[in-house]
Structure 1
């Protein structure tokens, strides 16, 4: 696939509404409610959701540029967070209070969704805005969207971002919420007006594991190519205070076992030094991520990579392009990945990509054309691929 600019991506999304086009009334400014319960679009990179937050934000901004009024509804996670944030003219983030104003793990959020809907109605009545479309993101928001759709009688578009039955495959003990999630995801496929799928692999999973009913259209993610592709490597390294001759391996994403960071660390342990490994991302408010980060830190120490590894932490969107541009190679070693937005961002920066041949990455990365694909959970294969990139770039 090619790296599509976000404007073209939004155009394709707009054409997926059953009415034919999002912008339908010449004398009326369309108003859309994007539901993203667990994906605050203003969050910095590394927060839970990662690419999902970026997807929601870029969609909202893109629709606003087309003259739409867009409200992105998410959940307040801190008492000091503002209720309304103006993202751009015509696009704002609305934080609703649903349960305690603190981070709550996704698997425990379902019980707070009725309160989210109550808060949504209060805001809607207060603002007197009549929405013409609901776009829900992830299964939690899908449930919210289905309730609003039944009351408002307006179209609902849904994006899964991940599918529960795929996520829980191989788990000895799936979480208690797994059954509820499956029922909601089935309803999202069969009862919404259109499902936006990000890859052919996701369509196959939906049809084989969820239902053969429902309208699905494949529209891969896109990124702002000018945002990620405008920085020269020398400029990026000077900005980050990295030597020009240093071999730099980059990982961007959450600390999650399914992201394959352990595989990357083990691969790096077999590489010839010197090199540096930059791990960008990680949500310190998440207990699970903190535990995984500590496990990875112990592994780094155990394998003697302390001097070579930098735990960067969360990075602002304005800073992220510098890391992509500075890297010699960006590695996405995931065990599973619905799409792989990081791959597109690295490609836009002109940085070689090495990714696991799983999920949407099989379509995002074309082997030896737009990057390299390797089997997941194989440190030896990953190390060989990194070495090949280093040698090819004469680092």
Structure 2
């Protein structure tokens, strides 16, 4: 039976030396069909997965491995290969037209993606493949089956959860759930990011023996309590919501809660660039709600911002809000805690693992503005409590979610798969 890499076991993460522990230098292929590590963050399809792939690749390179990230070429100006940093290369795969396509419309191009991977890997095979998101898993499964390569998979989000919450608004391909199950059964190992995902995979029929947990990570050198602080407004308190500006992230819940939080400004970070905010339908919806609830003068939308500006914005906030309807993992709570800020998050998905209530913040029911307002008001009303929660959050992140620890745990999963995989010679003999 496969052992779990449990993020709640202090011995599971961060063990071993800073460099490669057992396998020596590996050639690792990360497949991320829509989430390029080079993408600008904040768009509808550019968020936590892009950060995860970029940071995991870098942390694995820091452990001495050679990493290539395979992502779809979605613009004509992109080169075939581009260096992300020392030890990490991005390979743009020609699959479908070289233009932006919503991720839910990419499935017809995954056969072409998989055939391209097989052609590239036939002459220079990686030691192992780690796919990210279900469509990447389909493309990687095609190539690894043909070539006999080890395959690990991280879903980042599951169709069963999306369909349950979005119902008729779900734009995923109809076959998504069955294809996700095919990936889970066909790969050598599933690397889940939280306990909630493990339970969901079990209901899908993916055996627990194939699943281990390695959480997402955060850059604790970039996200730190020390450093520049963004300019604040003239209200006594400031709360902040950061992330993709889509309805399921719950910004409407934060706007509605603001009516119960006097002398407080809400800063919403994400979405299109500031100059295009007026054309964005979600911004227009949120502005209408703010006017209807009488808080329009206390809500500020920044639009998408460069990733380098995010830590200073987090440090300026008294409390960070993460009120998503559902959240497969959620990077923002980690970033906020790493900056020493308390978090009030909905009690869903990965946030059940990352936010420790009451130590590092509060967990509240999703879609409940009143509950969100009560939790935030408790923290805003007690500066000593806010400081203690922020310090506890920073300690929790350093102990469990630093990218060095996450890379070590991921490497351990790679080693288990490699140790169990028969070695096939070029002649096909074991």
Q: For this structure pair, what is the TM-score category when the shorter chain's length is used for normalisation?
A: 0.7 to 0.9
Paired residue for 1:167? 162
For residues 234-260 of structure 1, give each alpha carbon's deviation from its aligned partner in whole angstroms, at most 9, with x where no partner exists.
x31xxx332697421111111222111
Contact 1:258 1:335 in 2 (8 A): yes
Paired residue for 1:18? none
- The 5 A counterparts of 1:303-382 are 303-382=293-372
Figure out how many residues of one structure are paired with residues of the other and give that number: 374
- Shift, 1:209, TM fit: 3.0
Distance in 2 (CA, whole Å) between partners of 1:66 and 1:172 is 42
Distance in 2 (CA, whole Å) between partners of 1:121 and 1:324 is 43
Paired residue for 1:39? 35
Contact 1:3 1:348 in 2 (8 A): no
1:220 to 215, 221, 232: 215
Paired residue for 1:17? none
Secondary structure of 2:83's partner?
strand
- Shift, 1:9, TM fit: 6.3
1:64 to 61, 66, 69: 61
- Shift, 1:146, TM fit: 0.4
Contact 1:9 1:219 in 2 (8 A): no
Worse-superposed segment, 211-220 or 138-147:
211-220
Distance in 1 (CA, whole Å) between partners of 2:252 and 2:317 is 20
Paired residue for 2:80? 83
Distance in 2 (CA, whole Å) between partners of 1:193 and 1:33 is 15
Secondary structure of 1:228's partner?
coil
2:105 to 105, 108, 127: 108
Paired residue for 1:272? 262
Contact 2:104 2:172 in 1 (8 A): yes
Distance in 2 (CA, whole Å) between partners of 1:188 and 1:245 is 50
2:177 to 182, 198, 203: 182
- Shift, 1:193, TM fit: 0.9
- Shift, 1:314, TM fit: 1.7
1:148 to 2:143 alignment = yes
For residues 56-99 of structure 1, give each alpha carbon's deviation from its aligned partner in whole angstroms, at most 9, with x where no partner exists.
11110011112211111111222223432211111011222322
Secondary structure of 2:98's partner?
coil
Distance in 2 (CA, whole Å) between partners of 1:375 and 1:231 is 32
Q: CA RMSD in A?
A: 3.1
Distance in 1 (CA, whole Å) between partners of 2:307 and 2:104 is 27
* Runs of 4 or more consecutive aligned structure 1 residues displaced over 4 Å after TM superposition: 1-5, 8-12, 121-125, 174-178, 243-246
Contact 1:354 1:373 in 2 (8 A): yes
Contact 1:192 1:214 in 2 (8 A): no
Worse-superposed segment, 381-390 or 290-299:
290-299
Secondary structure of 2:92's partner?
strand
For residues 336-391 of structure 1, give each alpha carbon's deviation from its aligned partner in whole angstroms, at most 9, with x where no partner exists.
11112110110010011000011111111111111101111111111111111111
Paired residue for 2:114? 117
- Shift, 1:10, TM fit: 10
1:384 to 2:374 alignment = yes
* 5+ residue gaps, structure 1: 15-20
Cα separation, partners in 2 of 1:230 and 1:389, compared to 1, 3 Å: closer
- Shift, 1:204, TM fit: 0.6
Paired residue for 1:282? 271
Distance in 2 (CA, whole Å) between partners of 1:186 and 1:342 is 28
In the superposition, the TM-score normalised over structure 1's length comes to: 0.86
1:129 to 124, 134, 144: 124
Distance in 2 (CA, whole Å) between partners of 1:309 and 1:11 is 46
Cα separation, partners in 2 of 1:79 and 1:310, compared to 1, 3 Å: farther
Distance in 2 (CA, whole Å) between partners of 1:290 and 1:124 is 42
Paired residue for 2:383? 393
Secondary structure of 1:389's partner?
helix
In the superposition, the TM-score normalised over structure 2's length comes to: 0.79
Paired residue for 1:207? 202
Contact 1:191 1:214 in 2 (8 A): no
Distance in 2 (CA, whole Å) between partners of 1:154 and 1:9 is 27
Paired residue for 1:195? 190
Distance in 2 (CA, whole Å) between partners of 1:312 and 1:393 is 26
1:299 to 285, 289, 302: 289
- Shift, 1:118, TM fit: 4.0
Paired residue for 1:259? 249
Cα separation, partners in 2 of 1:82 and 1:380, compared to 1, 3 Å: same
Contact 2:71 2:90 in 1 (8 A): yes
Distance in 2 (CA, whole Å) between partners of 1:147 and 1:22 is 30
